[in-house]
Chain A
Amino acid sequence: MLNFIVRRLIQVPLVMLALSLLIVGLTQLLTPEQRAAGYIRSDQQAARLEAIIEERGLRDPFIVQYGKWLGSTLQGDLGFSRASGQDVVQTIRERLPNTVELTLLTALPILLLGIWLGTLSALNKDRLIDQILRVLTIIGYSLPTFVLGIVLLAVFYGYLGWLPGAGQVSILNQFALGDLKRYTGLLSLDAVLNGRWDIAWDVLQHMILPAATLTVVSVTTFVKVMRNSMLEALTSDYVRTARAKGLAERVVNNKHARRNALLSIVTLGGFLIINLLGGSLITEFIFGYPGVGLWMVDAGLRLDIPAVLGFALLSALIVVLVSTAVDILYGVVDPRVRFD
Chain B
Amino acid sequence: MKKLAMLSTLLLAGAALAVAPKDTLVVQEASDIPTLDPGVTYDTASGAIVENIYETLVTYKGASLRDLEPLLATKLPTVTNGGKTYTFDLRKNVKFHTGNTMTCRDAEYSFERNLVTNSAESGNWFISESLLGTQANANDDKSITWAKIDKAVECNNAGQLVFTLPQVDPAFLAKLAYTGQSIVDSKHAISIGEWKGTEADWKNWVGKDLTDSNLNKQPSGTGAYRLVRRDANATLLQAFDGYWGKKPAIKNVVIQKVPEIAARQQAFLRGDADIIEGGGRSVDTEQIKGKPGVRWIDNLPNTSATAIFMNQKIQDPKLLGSGKLDGKGIPANFFSDVNVRRAFSYAFNYAQYIQDVQQGQGKQRTMLLPDSFPGYDPKVKTYKFDRKQAEAYFKRAWGGNVWKNGFTLTANYRAGSVGAQTMMEILKRNVEALNPKFKINIQPKQWSEMLADSKSGKEAMISIGWAPDYADPDNFMYTFYASDGFYSPRSNFKDASLDKWLKQARQTVNVAQRNRLYSLVGNRAYEQAYYMLVPAPVNYTFVRDNLQGVSAANYNPLISFSYTGTFWKELSKK
A residues bordering B, Cβ < 8 Å? 31, 33-34, 36-37, 39, 41-52, 54-55, 80, 82-87, 91, 94-95, 98, 150, 153-154, 157-158, 161-172, 174-175, 177-178, 201-202, 205, 285-288, 290, 294-295, 297-298
Contact = CB atoms under 8 A, between A and B. Distances in A.
B260 A87 contact: no
Interface residues of B, number: 66
Contacts of A33: 448-449, 451-452
B6 interface: no
Interface in B118-133: 119-121, 123, 125
Contact of B18 (A55, A154, A171): A171
B12 A167 contact: no
A44 B258 contact: no
A41 B26 CA distance: 24
Contact of B231 (A48, A177, A298): A177
Given A33-B451, A80-B211, A177-B231, A170 B267 contact: no
A163 B11 contact: yes
17 contacts: A43-B467, A51-B140, A55-B119, A55-B209, A83-B32, A85-B35, A91-B232, A98-B232, A153-B266, A158-B270, A162-B11, A162-B15, A166-B264, A170-B14, A174-B233, A178-B228, A201-B14
B20 A166 contact: no
Interface string B42-74: 111100000000000000000000000000000
A171 B121 contact: no
Interface string B212-228: 10000000000000001
A294 B259 contact: yes
A47 B454 CA distance: 11
Nearest to A41: B43
B254 A174 contact: yes
B158 interface: no
B400 interface: no
Nearest to A81: B212
Contacts of A94: 231-232
Contacts of A169: 233
Contacts of B207: 55
B256 A167 contact: yes
> Which residue, B44, B121, B263, has most C-beta atoms of chain A within 10 A?
B263
B233 A290 contact: yes
B233 A168 contact: yes
Contacts of B267: 165-166
Contacts of A165: 18, 258, 263, 266-267, 270, 272
Contact of A84 (B20, B32, B266, B466): B32
Contact of B234 (A45, A158, A174, A295): A174
A206 B233 CA distance: 13
B495 to A, nearest CB: 22
Contacts of A171: 18, 20-21, 24, 26, 254, 272
A172 B43 contact: no
A31 B232 contact: no
Contacts, number: 176
B263 A286 contact: yes
B263 A166 contact: yes
B262 interface: yes
Given A164-B18, A174-B254, A42 B43 contact: yes
Interface in B188-247: 207, 209, 211-212, 228-234, 236
Given A83-B32, A95-B232, A205-B14, 20 more contacts: A48-B120, A49-B455, A50-B455, A52-B120, A54-B120, A85-B34, A87-B212, A161-B12, A162-B11, A162-B15, A167-B258, A169-B233, A171-B20, A174-B233, A205-B11, A285-B260, A287-B260, A290-B233, A298-B32, A298-B259
B252 A175 contact: yes
A298 B8 CA distance: 35
B446 A172 contact: no
B173 interface: no
Contact of B452 (A49, A150, A166): A49
Contact of A170 (B17, B125, B228, B269): B17
Contacts of A42: 42-44, 467
> Which residue, A52, A86, A288, has most C-beta atoms of chain B within 10 A?
A288
A35 B486 CA distance: 22
